[in-house]
Amino acid sequence: MSTLIYGRNTCLEVLKTDRKIYQGFVMERTNQDIIDYLKRHDIACQILNKHDFKKKFLGNHQGAILDVEDYKTLELKPFLKSLDLKKNPFLVMLDQITDEHNLGAIIRTCEAGGVDGVIIPKNRSAKITGTVAKTSSGAIEHVKVIEVTNLNNTLKTLKDNGFWSVGTDLKAKKSYQEIFVDTPLCLVIGSEGKGISKIIREHVDYNVKIDMVGQINSLNASVSAGILIFDILRKKLNG
C-alpha cells in the first residue's frame, strides 16, 4: 500500500527522510529541484503539462505529488521504553479528532512545540493520509504517532510509567496556566464542540480550561492545542 502526498513543502520534507518513494508526478516548469532529486535516485518521475496535471490531481498540489510508502504508527509499550523519563517527556493524546485538517495542523504544532509523541485511537480518529501530511507541512515526517486501542487504558499505562495526564474541559476550575510541567506529561485534546469524552475527563489527573472573554466559548481543536502546547514549551524553556 502507498500514500499520495502533495504540496511542495511536504514533498521536500519527505526527500530529507528514508521514506521509500515509489514515483513522483511534477507539473512541467515547476519544482525542478524535486525532479533532479528523483532522477539522481533513479525514481520514476512523470512530468505533466498543467492541463493534464490538474486533470489528474485535484486540490492544492503546488505542482508536486509523491507516491510514498504508507505512514506507520508505533505501538505504545516499545515507544515508552524508548523515552528517557528523567527528561520529562511531553506527549499529546487526541480524543475524537476526526477531521484530517485538524489532525495535520495539530501534528505540525506538536513538531514545532517539542512534543515527543502523539497518541491517537484506532477508532473514531482521523488516520495519517495525504491530506494530513499536506496540512502538517511535512511535520508528520518528524513526529512519532502512536496508535492505541483504548485511550482510557493508555492513560493507566502512562500513569504506571510516571506520567501525569491533563485534560481540557470548558468547565474545569483550573486555568491552563496552572499546568505543572516538571514531570512526564500527557496533554489530552478533544474535538471542537464535543471536547474530550466523559470517561477520559474523569480519569485524567486534572482538567484545565483556556480562559476566554469573547462571545464564542469554544476554539478550533488545533488552535486550542497550539495555545496549550506552546505555553507548556514556554514553561519548560524557562524552567
Same domain flag for 137 and 152:
yes
CATH of the domain at 48: 3.30.1330.30
The CA distances from residue 233 to 80, 130, 177, 237, 238, in Å, are: 20, 28, 12, 6, 9
What pLDDT was estimated at residue 214? Answer: 59
Same domain flag for 26 and 128:
no
Give 3-state DSSP helix, strand, coil % of the chain, rounded to 5: 40, 25, 35
Determine contact, residues 168/228, Cβ cutoff 8 Å. yes
> What average pLDDT is seen over the chain?
94
Same domain flag for 52 and 103:
no
Residue ranges making up the domain that contains 190: 76-238
Same domain flag for 81 and 157:
yes
Number of domains in the chain: 2
Same domain flag for 11 and 119:
no
47, 69, 91 — which closes off a domain? Answer: 69
Same domain flag for 59 and 119:
no
Look at residue 216 and tell me whether its pLDDT is greater than 80.
no
Same domain flag for 135 and 177:
yes
Same domain flag for 50 and 100:
no
Same domain flag for 60 and 99:
no
Same domain flag for 36 and 99:
no
CATH of the domain at 194: 3.40.1280.10
Task: State mean pLDDT over 209-224.
Answer: 77
> How confident is residue 114, by pLDDT bands cut at 50, 70 and 90?
very high
> How confident is residue 191, by pLDDT bands cut at 50, 70 and 90?
confident
Look at residue 108 and tell me whether its pLDDT is greater than 70.
yes
Same domain flag for 32 and 88:
no
69, 85, 100 — which closes off a domain? Answer: 69
Phi-psi map region of 42: left, alpha, beta (phi>0 left; psi -120 to 50 alpha): left
Same domain flag for 25 and 49:
yes
Look at residue 24 and tell me whether its pLDDT is greater than 90.
yes
